[in-house]
Structure 1
Amino acid sequence: MTASRGRTGRPPLTQERKAEIRLEIARAAVDLFVDQGVAATTGEQIGQAVGVSARTVWRYFPSKESCVGPLLTAGIDAIAACLREWEPGRPLGEAFARRLETDQRLVGGPDPATVGALVRLARTEPALRAVWLQTYDEAEPAFARALADRAGVPAGDFRPAIQAAMFNAALRAAVEHHAWRAADTAATAADPATVRAELAEAIRAALVVASEGVN
């Protein structure tokens, strides 16, 4: 009786490493989109930029435009956690202020300037715009669940759903406002810490306006 042979070849990638590869592909895709345009960029070029094959790129993403998704979704869980922990009676902008200063996922991840460039591209590239808006569509139920948990009501309750929609719109408006403003100022050349601080302030200000409601 012969002994069974063990598995050979490379060990399977961990979920953490897979997430890192997705983020590397996302950054490379944005850089190429900015440098030469979306239409001129291929999956092969995106793969070459991070040292993987085009086949690997397509294993992770269904299209070149969808490659940017990880840059946009990185902060959803962190934002939902902030909403869940938001203390009753505490202003929303104040509740987020400290987390905005310390949690990079809430303000553009490790490279907020890259996210800003992506948002500006999405203004004129319909396929990227679709990915950008889809990110917020997918985030809204997570925000609604967090607000429902905070209030101790069922996830399908109407009030948390409305609050999540308002919060989501304010968040998107803040990120877009900051990105478009940066395109017209010296902010595009600022260091990441400065860009992150300015984006955090835009988000905080937007949340203050959203919490005030419509008068």
Structure 2
Amino acid sequence: MSQPVVRARRGRSAAGRAEVRRDLVAAAVQLFRSQGYEDTTVDDIAAAAGVGRRTFFRYFRSKEDAISPDHETALTRIAEIFATAHPTEPTGGLALRAGETVFDLYTDDPGLSVERFALIREVPALRDRESASVDHYRRLFTRNLRGRLADTPDGDLRAAVIGAAVVAAHNLALRAWLAAGAPVSGIDALRARFRAVAGMLPVEPARDLHAVAERLEAAVGRLERADT
């Protein structure tokens, strides 16, 4: 007599959990685009992904979370990079190395990233959530840089300026790539545009921090006006 087939639940392995998460995100994007953000429920997203409501909440706290990249993973990865960096690694290079890891959240699935980008620009609640995420990155960079620059003149100010500059440059380069349709052929240019901020970072005591801060504020203002 044949034995019954026992199907393994997808969420029991790391690969399975990643697959379920991708399916939920893809379902949320599709439903938000087709029937509207306000009219889409958690139950709708779960059903479209082929899972139950309880499974949805194992991965996300709300439908807003389902449309966001996995920022928690990225923040953890950045913290680990700073924690394991050699004490003599140049501060500017370390900040760029940590910042580049976040690109993986978008370049791993360019098509989905473009859909997310469009939705975030259209839905105020998603824009607010994305703005909060940007602030989390800035504070994480600043906190870690402050520790590395503790013995440097104006260390607190340097940490704040470098952290803000790295995050602003990251967002500027990323949004330009997404607005262009996230072409795979443009990933190298995306990273190069981000790395261009290296020469603007106040990592040496001789640099005029106040002038750098003013230029950074002007650049952020231009970026915000462009988004608007």
User: Partner of 1:40 in structure 2?
Assistant: 39
Give the superposed CA RMSD.
Answer: 4.0
Greater RCO (Cα-Cα under 8 Å, separation 6 or more)? 1
For residues 22-58 of structure 1, the C-alpha deviation after alignment (integer angstroms, 9 at most, x for no partner) is: 4442232123223443233221221023222224324
1:167 aligns with 2:166: yes
Work out the CA distance in 2 between the residues paired with 1:146 and 1:208: 21
Q: Percent identity?
A: 28
1:88 maps to a residue whose letter is P
Partner of 1:144: 142
Q: 1 CA distance for matches of 2:17 and 2:137?
A: 18
> Counterparts in 2 of 1:81-100, with a 5 A limit?
85=85, 87-88=89-90, 96=97
- Specify the alignment match of 1:201 in structure 2: 189
Number of aligned pairs? 189
Give the 3 Å change call, closer, same or farther, for CA 58–176 of structure 1 in structure 2: same
CA drift of 1:74 comes to: 4.1
Matches of 2:172 and 2:50, distance apart in 1: 35
SS at match of 2:37: coil
Query: Hey, what does 1:6 align to over in structure 2?
Result: none
In 2: Cα distance, 1:83 partner to 1:106 partner: 18
**Which runs of structure 2 are paired with 1:2-21 in the superposition (5 Å)?**
16=14, 20=18, 21=20
**Superposed CA offset, 1:154-202 (max 9, x none):** 9x933212211121121122222221222xxxx5xx5xxx2xx524522
8 Å Cα contact 1:72/1:115 also seen in 2: no
Structure 2 CA distance for aligned equivalents of residues 152 and 24 of structure 1: 44
8 Å CA contact retained: 1:71, 1:109: no
Partners in 1 of 2:186 and 2:178 — Cα distance? 10
1:118-153 deviation digits (Å, cap 9, x = unpaired): 122111110111121121122222222332344455
Q: What per-residue deviation string (whole Å, max 9, x for no partner) do you get for residues 75-134 of structure 1? A: 3344455567493287689x64xx95xx68635153132122212211111011112112
Q: Which runs of 5+ in 2 are unaligned?
A: 1-7, 201-211, 217-228
- What's 1:122 paired with? 120
- What aligned pairs does 1:172-187 form with structure 2 within 5 A after superposition? 172-182=171-181
Letter of the 2:45 counterpart:
I
Task: State the one-letter code of the partner of 2:132.
Answer: Q
- What is the TM-score of this pair, normalised by structure 2? 0.62
SS of the equivalent of 2:108 reads coil
